[in-house]
Structure 1
């Protein structure tokens, strides 16, 4: 019996077998959206009429007997920073509040070609800036596990919609943790892939390597299914990895016996971490060891990672949004405006130094993974914080002066170039979700997903593998 918490794979199989129609599946999800979205505020620009038209077309394809895509008939949410033809795309900013996209960007092309039914956009902070999802256009997205708390960001709308049963699959993007952090906060799964694994088109900078697009789902198997659609080469993107996305379609759990796991709560003191989060992360050593893994407290030395990330982020944001700030200085949130301004004093030499440092960081990561198969650490340094705060202002009494400071656990990994996945690990004593960040060598997504599948079966915390569901 299909319900809104069935796996995406089970839903697709049921539609293909005509056990449920795409229209009936859509109706189930629209009923759930009507029930809970008013509270969670995860989905925006919902278009029921268009979604039903797409579902009707999907049912016609089913009836015709033609080959069906792997996402055939599945309701789907697109992050409100990704363009969908004819759909309102606001980037969570009053600057773009009345913008309607003229085209589907590549990730949307791919999910539609695979048969997904786009239902809505998912909420995001303004121009995807920050790991708490709020904006003046649509308001704040809250956590389905505690609606007084943040859902994370910047793909917070996607993660919250998945956790609340509003859609079975959704996408996002990640510069400093925007696929990983909301997955951690909402007890779902989010993958930051290696740059080039999921190509972006069109794009203002083909060679930009800090931000990537990627999948979110309720379990690793469903995430791998979506990655199989999003990944793969495209003639318009010469920087795309040449590996066909289909290799991710079936990812079986790996054996953890003998796996060399480096586990750290803070990368050797590189950041503060809340005690409740640290306790959950430390406890995962026993999960891995119980399956035969060799677990050590170890971490890569990444001394230049923070300066590298901050320089590249500021430079990229100033280029992308500097003209917007000049034209409408009162219409951008102050933290975003400050980050844009931080890019203005940077010289060409500063940017070149950052890229040189990133090259060194990539080599340090490569060398580290000759000694270890996996790095495990927190995704987020805090549990979900109150939704009326822009960001946590202190951790263990240590001030977090900007909206980036508390995100080090994720953005220090960004600049290594390695793929990283957030997998549900457990809950704090207050019942708030905690994700474990699993990191592998560059290009190792298939192996990383296989390890993550094995781990999630052992941990059993995620909403997609029998863990607790939100009470909404």
Structure 2
């Protein structure tokens, strides 16, 4: 097996035993990127090869800092990495390299990661199709005419294509789940508060997005979460430090899994999505778990109403400085302007009403998890669509009335900050990959990782590699 096909923990063990050197791994990584990245455009802002090899040789000559020591990593282009530009996929952003690392990046650097560049994302992470006017479109390694999803589409495609062995991502509306499903890898949205963001600006009103790990197996997922997670005393609502990797192996027989399907018909699904997702859920029956259907615990329309407003409220707060400046406003894509203007138009009573819906859903979900260890939904309502589309405008005969309505299936998790792992679910009759969301009670990240590990041992869908790309 080529080095670039191995998992991150396997590579880490080889580096620790001195079976390979970090410089050797870096050269293999750069060779792989040169061979396949032109076909998928997942890695952007790649560093100078000579500088990267020098950094790898330095890693070879210094004591190990952590399990990521010497592992090449590319960070999603929404986070700052010292020495690399942070474009957000937008021409409205400066092109100068970042002067310092974001908190999560600093944690990965402290564990020994060697940063090689960035992974592509939609402009400001808006939309689940990775294209932007700065770096272009990221394509799906399993079908280079199709979308890689988003907004962590570059990270998922780079993993699937063997350009990195583990990756970070972020998730407001499915961005660690939809692209993971479409690229046949694992992506984890941790419980909100598990991986703190930046200690900047307003920190109380907008708990929707979070960063998290992506990998080709759950053990690598857990190992990276161990690095990313942990409280920051400068930020509220952080969860306490836990160790996930050393507890990931567990018997899952007897655990109860609820299958939510299409939420009682509320979520339109392209043909084959429910069948693929249902087969994935039934894998847990073979593992001794109890799997049974669950009726919708709350009206999907209520969740969508709350999500539409609260997401716009959060995005307006985040992007308003760019909107207020006429020079940068003119360079924002229409979806960003729509989010900002929608959020700015909300009144305080409207925000309160939407937050009450959100709160009621949290209470109902908590009651549901008294009976179930995890719930399952598809990760997306459509298959990877043609890459030259901006987005799907309809599912079956149902018109999508916003740029992101076709991803409504991720809202139950996102709205209340639940932990969720995308499980690769295999391939449809069309040959395209799909995934399912396995989600649980807030704070029960470990239980989901244990279920994911048992599932992986029974399936190993990422072992079905993409077709040749070079």
Measured in 2, the distance between the counterparts of 1:249 and 1:204 equals 33
Taking the aligned partners of 2:281 and 2:316, their CA distance within structure 1 comes to 41
The alpha carbon displacement at 1:179 in A equals 0.8
1:335 match:
335
Deviates more, 1:285-294 or 1:412-421: 285-294
Residue in 2 that maps onto 1:85:
82
Aligned to 1:3: 3
1:309 corresponds in structure 2 to 307
Q: Secondary structure at the match of 1:367?
A: helix
| Structure 1 pair 41–342 and aligned structure 2 pair: CA distance change class (3 A) | same
- Of 119, 124, 129 in structure 2, the residue corresponding to residue 127 of structure 1 is 124
From the superposition, tell whether residues 102 and 302 of structure 1 become closer, same or farther in structure 2 (CA, over 3 Å).
farther
Corresponding residue of 1:76: 73
Matches of residues 411-422 of structure 1 in structure 2 within 5 Å?
411-422=411-422
Q: Secondary structure at the match of 1:96?
A: coil
CA drift at 1:469: 3.2
Q: Does 1:144 align with 2:141?
A: yes
- Distance in 1 between the 2:307 and 2:200 partners? 20
Give how far 1:278 is off: 1.0
What residue number does 2:101 align with? 104
User: Is 46-55 or 181-190 further displaced after alignment?
Assistant: 46-55
Q: 1-side partners of 2:336 and 2:247: how far apart?
A: 39
Match of 1:189 among 186, 202, 206: 186
Query: Which residue in the other structure is 1:266 paired with?
Result: 262
Paired residues of 1:277 and 1:381 also in contact (CA < 8 A): yes
Take 2:330 and 2:389, find their aligned partners in 1: how far apart are those partners?
A: 20
Distance 1:81 1:119 in 2: 15
Q: 2:283 aligns with which of 284, 287, 292?
A: 287
Equivalents in 2 of 1:471, 1:256: separation in Å? 36
SS in 1 for 2:272: helix
Say whether residues 1:220 and 2:221 are aligned partners: no
Aligned residue in 2 for 1:373 = 373
Residue of structure 2 in register with 1:434 after alignment: 434
Whole-Å Cα distance in 2 between the matches of residues 470 and 273 of structure 1? 27
Q: Find out whether 1:52 has 2:41 as its counterpart.
A: no
Q: 2:464 aligns with which of 441, 464, 467?
A: 467
Quick check: 2:419–2:440 contact (8 Å CA) kept in 1?
yes
Q: Which shows bigger deviation, 274-283 or 298-307?
A: 298-307
* 1:26-56 CA-partner distances (Å, limit 9, x unpaired): 1101000000111100011000344223212
Equivalent in 215, 233, 237 of residue 235 of structure 1: 233
1:320 paired residue among 289, 303, 318: 318
Determine if the alignment matches structure 1 residue 162 to structure 2 residue 131. Answer: no
Q: Say yes or no: does 1:95 pair with 2:96.
A: no
Query: TM-score, with normalisation over the residues of structure 1?
Result: 0.95
Q: In the alignment, what sits opposite 1:254?
A: 250
Q: Is the 8 A contact 1:365 1:416 kept in 2?
A: no
Contact 2:270/2:383 (8 A) holds in 1? yes
Q: Give the length in aligned residue pairs.
A: 463
Secondary structure of the residue aligned to 1:380 is coil
Deviation, 1:57, is 1.9
SS at match of 1:85: coil
Are 1:253 and 1:452, in contact at CA under 8 Å, matched by a contact in 2? no
Q: Deviations over 1:215-265 (max 9, x none)?
A: 111111111110000001223334321224xx1132434323222111122
**Deviation at residue 408 of structure 1 after TM alignment:** 0.9
Moved more, 28-37 or 195-204: 195-204
SS in 2 for 1:344: helix
| 1:309–1:412 contact (8 Å) kept in structure 2 | no
The answer on whether the counterparts of 2:156 and 2:185 sit within 8 Å (CA) in structure 1 is: yes
Local SS of the residue matching 2:436: strand
Shift of 1:300: 4.5
**Is 1:114 the counterpart of 2:111 in the alignment?**
yes
Deviation at 1:67, TM superposition (A): 4.5
Is 1:26 the counterpart of 2:26 in the alignment?
yes
User: How far apart, CA to CA, are the structure 1 residues paired with 2:250 and 2:399?
Assistant: 40
Q: Is the 8 A contact 1:149 1:387 kept in 2?
A: yes
Distance 1:25 1:306 in 2: 45
Ranges in structure 2 where 5+ consecutive residues have no aligned partner:
none
Q: Matches of 1:457 and 1:133 in 2, distance apart?
A: 30
> Structure 1 regions of 5+ residues with no counterpart?
none
Q: RMSD across aligned C-alpha pairs, in angstroms?
A: 1.5
- Helix, strand or coil at the partner of 2:386: coil
